[in-house]
Amino acid sequence: MNGATITGIDLTASLTLGVGLGYCPRAMAELLPHAEAGMVEGLASLHQGEADHGDP
């Protein structure tokens, strides 16, 4: 699996959990793009850190 697949699975699980706990589905859907952007940036920074240190 690549980072995008993992991010997608995490976001789906987070949305499902939030709705299950009683959070408004509309509010969760509005927050989702912001959460996704943060996760993608985090994965990119991890990947960049590995590249800087010569790790595969």
Cα distance between residue 25 and residue 16, in whole Å: 9
Neighbours of 31 (CB within 10 A): 14
- Tell me the pLDDT tens digit for each residue of 38-53: 777 777 777 777 666 6
- Tell me the pLDDT tens digit for each residue of 12-35: 777 777 777 777 777 777 777 777
What pLDDT sits at residue 55? 52
Q: Where are the domains of the chain?
A: 3-53
Both tokens assigned to 32: 């989702």
Distances (CA, A) of 48 to 27, 41, 44: 32, 10, 6
pLDDT top residue among 56 and 32: 32
